[in-house]
């Protein structure tokens, strides 16, 4: 990413990790087998989208993998009954905050256009459709790098990850009107700079 870390939106505290008081499960917590299934499904559904998102923020695949691993470690420590209804925005919020922690400590790397789009959300798509989408997103990455960090992030969350305005607001702490403005101006800028065959 060509922008410096200080241009990245301010981070906010990740959701609190409740302490385990004893060896007994908390009231309302799913049984151990259900808990393992829930975490396994979350890993299968969200590991790739989170990796793509973290790589977009960090421009470093190995750091992104560490951030995603940390995100799922945090998930394993949660009272799942409290976050099950909002799992996707919770995961993206934790992932984002962890990535921004890393950015504050290190100088951003040069963009990794191919790597950042290697893992994308492709639920329900056929293999050839996934390959076509990945190739298109890879081309799109170099144009996204010319947007502001805020524009780039909300467009990725909306169109790559399929999140709602409400979820993006929860993740970024930007207002809904600000998110709409950033998406509008970001898409307008993309239309100006992209070739005709890629315009959206």
**pTM of the shown model:** 0.63
Residue 57 lies in a domain: yes
pLDDT, residue 105, reads: 84
List Cα–Cα distances, 51 to 61, 115, 127, in angstroms.
Answer: 8, 10, 19
Q: Say how many domains are in the chain.
A: 2
Q: What is the pLDDT of residues 61-112, one digit of tens each?
A: 899 999 999 999 999 999 988 898 899 999 999 999 999 999 888 754 544 4
Judgement on whether residues 67 and 95 belong to the same structural domain of the protein: yes
Q: Which residues constitute the domain of residue 54?
A: 27-109
- Would the pLDDT of 6 be above 80? no
Judgement on whether residues 195 and 157 belong to the same structural domain of the protein: yes
Residue 120 lies in a domain: no
The whole-number average pLDDT for the span 176-184 is 93
Residue 8 lies in a domain: no
Find, among 114, 116, 94, 67, the residue nearest to 170 by Cα.
94
pLDDT, residue 25, reads: 41
d(C-alpha 65, C-alpha 171), whole Å: 19
Judgement on whether residues 167 and 195 belong to the same structural domain of the protein: yes
Contact 53, 97 (CB under 8 A): no
d(C-alpha 40, C-alpha 8), whole Å: 31
| Unique residue bearing structure tokens 């600000």 | 178
Judgement on whether residues 87 and 152 belong to the same structural domain of the protein: no
Judgement on whether residues 163 and 190 belong to the same structural domain of the protein: yes
- Would the pLDDT of 181 be above 90? yes
Q: What is the pLDDT of residues 10-32, one digit of tens each?
A: 444 444 444 333 334 434 445 55
- Would the pLDDT of 199 be above 80? no
Residue 18 lies in a domain: no
pLDDT, residue 104, reads: 86
Q: Rounded to 5 degrees, what are φ and ψ at 60? A: -150, 115
Residue 34 lies in a domain: yes
User: Cα 71 from chain centroid?
Assistant: 11
Judgement on whether residues 91 and 131 belong to the same structural domain of the protein: no
Q: What is the mean pLDDT of the chain?
A: 76
Judgement on whether residues 90 and 142 belong to the same structural domain of the protein: no
pLDDT, residue 194, reads: 86
The whole-number average pLDDT for the span 178-194 is 91
pLDDT, residue 160, reads: 81
Q: What is the pLDDT of residues 125-162, one digit of tens each?
A: 555 665 666 666 677 778 888 899 899 999 989 988 88
Judgement on whether residues 95 and 146 belong to the same structural domain of the protein: no
Burial of 114 (0-12, 13-18, 19+ CB in 10 A): exposed
Among residues 109, 138, 164, the one where a domain terminates is 109
102 conformational bin, left if phi > 0, alpha if psi -120 to 50, beta if neither: alpha
CATH number for the domain including 147? 1.10.10.10
Among residues 60, 75, 109, the one where a domain terminates is 109
């Amino acid at each position: 990413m060509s922008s410096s870390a200080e241009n990245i939106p301010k981070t906010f505290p990740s959701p609190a990790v409740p302490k385990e008081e004893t060896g007994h499960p908390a009231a309302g917590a799913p049984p151990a087998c259900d808990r393992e299934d829930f975490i396994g499904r979350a890993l299968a559904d969200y590991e790739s989208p989170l990796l793509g998102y973290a790589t977009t923020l960090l421009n470093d695949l190995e750091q992104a993998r560490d951030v995603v691993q940390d995100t799922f470690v945090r998930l394993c420590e949660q009272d799942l009954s409290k976050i099950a209804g909002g799992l996707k925005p919770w995961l993206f919020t934790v992932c984002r905050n962890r990535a921004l922690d890393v950015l504050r400590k290190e100088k951003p790397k040069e963009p990794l256009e191919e790597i950042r789009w290697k893992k994308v959300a492709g639920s329900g798509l056929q293999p050839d459709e996934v390959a076509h989408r990945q190739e298109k997103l890879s081309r799109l990455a170099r144009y996204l790098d010319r947007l502001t960090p805020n524009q780039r992030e909300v467009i990725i969350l909306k169109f790559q990850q399929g999140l709602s305005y409400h979820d993006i607001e929860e993740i970024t702490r930007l207002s809904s009107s600000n998110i709409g403005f950033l998406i509008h101006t970001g898409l307008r800028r993309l239309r100006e700079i992209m070739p005709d065959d890629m315009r959206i």
